[in-house]
Homo-oligomer: A and B are copies of this chain.
Amino acid sequence: MLKGIPPLLSPELLKALDEMGHGDELVIADGNFPAESIGSSEGHTVIRCDGHGALEVLEAVLAVLPIDTYDDEPITLMEVVPGDPVETPIWQQYHDAVRRYDARGEKAFKTLERFAFYEAAKRAHCVIATSESAQYANLLIRKGCVLGDDVWTPER
């Protein structure tokens, strides 16, 4: 553990987020997402967050990682498969969490069909595997730049 950094971010996850640059993407995967096969399909990193819901992971990530402002819709959700009657109330919670860090809120989100989402996820820099039991709870987030006040400066 470190001072002022979310404990949920494991040393390995903190390292992965820090290694990402402008335009790199990460997946926050729900508990039924094929995280290992997709995450390792092109040699990228899979980081386990078993036992955690996706919302608490999102909140911890946004505490240190800026969302891309060069991309109008930097966050992607997986569309419900046609015919599947399931509801997605967790999406509203995602909108609220994002709004605390980015004024665009819900407008920063787009959706992608299930298999297109899988293809996009294969290009992500890392995949965070949660145990979120809600369905269609996967997120694909594009990192922005660390600029201005977000840059740490020594207290002297």
Contact = CB atoms under 8 A, between A and B. Distances in A.
Interface of A: 1-24, 29, 31-38, 40, 43, 48-52, 56, 59-60, 63-66, 70, 81, 100, 125, 131, 133, 135, 145-147, 150-152, 154-156
Q: Report how many copies the assembly holds.
A: 10
A-side binding surface: helix, strand, loop or mixed? loop
Given A9-B50, A18-B14, A60-B154, A1 B34 contact: no
Contacts of A56: 51, 154
A133 B150 CA distance: 11
A146 B3 CA distance: 6
A12 B15 contact: yes
A3 B67 CA distance: 11
Contacts of A13: 50
